[in-house]
Amino acid sequence: MGFCHVYFVDEKDILSNALEPLNVLLMSGGDTFAIAEGLGAEGSNKLRSFVERGGLYIGSCAGAYLPLRSSMDFLNRFNFINVKISNISRRLSEAERIPFEKHACSSYGCEFVFHVVREDVILEMVNGYQRDREKEMIAPLFGGPSMLPSEDIEPIAIYKGFTKKTKFLVEEGLAEKTLIGNIAVAKKSMGKGQLYIFGPHFEHPHYPACNLFLAEIICKNQNGRPQTIQRDFSGVRTKGEALRGLLKDLKRELSNSRIMASGMDDISTHWLIGSKYYEPEKIDVFINAVWNKLKGLESMPGLEMEEKSLLRCIEISKGITNELRTIKSEMKEKGDATLLASKMFLDLKALSSNFFGLYFGLKKNQV
């Protein structure tokens, strides 16, 4: 889609003013409480300043929950959008509570957020957002919010129905009551900027119509802000045969990780890390995202990369392979490997951000 000036930032970067030269921030899914705690009050102020001076915030799933009104510790430092959600309850009836899978509920203080379906949902585009496209869109839902109408937001899409791919986590009647007719995607203006919040994952790569919708929002809301970060490339850079040798080393380590991760499919488990459940299937998503782009790099002409970051990717990948091997062993012996799984998912995040930082740097230089 032509977006090559892409940077991966964490809470430390945001607190160090990494948002100042940027014009769009996409806040991912994950653990909303961990995101809020990591950013803290100072991070909240940075986000507010970023939007008010013309920035575009796009929050998906956890990134959508983050700016919504909450009285919970950490989350109450944000409260940018005055909206209630329908998938929160202080108490469900016994009949409603029994069908829930364990990982379909998340503690939310004295209340809890519950998730009623996974996979595809049908959305109806509203308020003119169906122009030049179908009035209905299909998008995947993996725990994002279902928002009640509010004067503080402009609805963009509402939950309309389900498909054959929809996986019900509760009785279908409760799923309909929780989702259908409520807001799935919304927008709020704040100062010179805007916040877009998405319950479903429009960024999922298997849904090109949703991806195009996101791209249109980004292009429409550039606001004339600068699009590049001045990076320090004074570190050692490598090219030619030396670089291809390092890429081959990374490919070998990733291949080992892929083999070890594929064996996790036989293990029926999930790990509670922070306030979020992680399933073994998520491991493949991280590793294969890197693997698929790495394969195309080797044939790229004029290839030149920062050596330190590439060596870091190789080191992290070795660690992930060892962690996967140990997790399998501990699951067989003890039935649990939550602590090690927690470290592994941090390493998977570090591998992804390091590699794609290099990847988008290459794409930018080519353009």
pLDDT tens, residue by residue, 230-275: 444 445 566 667 778 888 899 999 999 998 888 776 677 888 888 7
Better-scored residue on pLDDT, 87 or 174 = 174
Question: What is residue 133's predicted lDDT score, i.e. its pLDDT?
Answer: 64
The encoded tokens of residue 3 equal 């977006």
Identity of residue 94:
E
Taking residues 68-81, report their average pLDDT. Answer: 86
Residue 107: pLDDT above 60? no
Best CA proximity match to 352, nearest among 299, 291, 296? 291
pLDDT at position 145 over 70: yes
Q: Return the DSSP state at 96.
A: H
Count CB atoms within 10 A of the CB of residue 306. Answer: 19
List all residues 6 or more positions away from 43 whose beta carbon is below 8 Å from its beta carbon. 11, 14, 15
Contact 21, 226 (CB under 8 A): yes
pLDDT at 105 over 60: no
What is the distance between the alpha carbons of residues 207 and 221, in angstroms, rounded to a whole number?
A: 22
Between CA 168 and CA 162 the distance in angstroms is 9
Strand, helix or coil for residue 166: coil
Instruction: Give the predicted TM-score (pTM) of the model.
Output: 0.86
Residues 24-47 have pLDDT tens digits of: 999 988 888 889 999 999 999 999
Reference 172, options 91, 119, 124, 117; nearest CA is 117
In whole angstroms, give the CA distance from residue 366 to residue 117. 42
- Positive or negative, the Cα torsion across 356, 358, 360, 363? negative
Task: Report which of 111, 164, 165, 161 is spatially closest to residue 135, judged by C-alpha positions.
Answer: 161
- Show the beta-strand stretches assigned E in 199-351: 237-239, 271-273, 276-278, 304-306
Q: Which of the two residues, 51 and 335, has the higher pLDDT score?
A: 51
The mean per-residue pLDDT over the stretch 328-335 comes to: 83
Question: Encoding tokens for residue 242?
Answer: 């030396």
Confidence of residue 111 (pLDDT cuts 50, 70, 90): low
So what's the pLDDT on residue 227? 47
Percent of the chain with pLDDT over 70: 85
Say which CATH class 11-220 falls into. alpha beta
**Each residue of 213-227: pLDDT tens digit?**
999 999 887 654 444
Taking the alpha carbons at both ends of the chain, their separation in whole angstroms is 13
Range in 53-67, 136-150, 297-311, 339-353 the model is least confident about:
297-311
Q: What is the pLDDT, as a whole number, of residue 236?
A: 59
Residue labelled with tokens 């585009």: 125
Q: Which two tokens stand for residue 42?
A: 């100072």
| Cβ within 8 Å of residue 278, ≥6 positions away | 270, 271, 341, 345
| Contacting residues for 183 by C-beta, under 8 A, at least 6 apart | 83, 146, 147, 148, 149, 153, 155, 157, 158, 159, 199
Above 70 in pLDDT, residue 108? no
Per-residue model confidence (pLDDT) at position 223: 53
Lowest mean pLDDT across 32-41, 96-105, 188-197? 96-105
Residue 122 DSSP one-character state: E
- The amino acid at residue 272 is L
Per the prediction, the chain carries an average pLDDT of 84
pLDDT of amino acid 182 = 96
Q: List, in order, residues 6 or more apart from 315 with CB less than 8 Å away.
A: none
Q: How confident is the model at residue 297 (pLDDT cuts 50, 70, 90)?
A: confident
Residues 6+ apart with CB under 8 A from 160: 121, 122, 123, 124, 136, 180
Around Cβ 156, how many Cβ atoms within 10 Å? Answer: 22
Helix (H), strand (E) at residue 101: none
Closest to 157 measured CA to CA, from 132, 128, 194, 189: 128
What is the model's pLDDT at position 30?
85
**Other Cβ atoms within 10 Å of 99 Cβ, number:** 13
Listed in sequence order, the residues at least 6 apart from 45 whose beta carbon sits closer than 8 Å to its beta carbon are none
Place of tokens 């080992």: 256
| pLDDT for 146 | 94
Q: For residues 223 and 193, is the Cβ–Cβ distance under 8 A?
A: yes
Question: What are the structural domain ranges in the chain?
Answer: 11-220, 237-366
Q: Is the pLDDT of residue 173 over 50?
A: yes
pLDDT of res. 232: 45
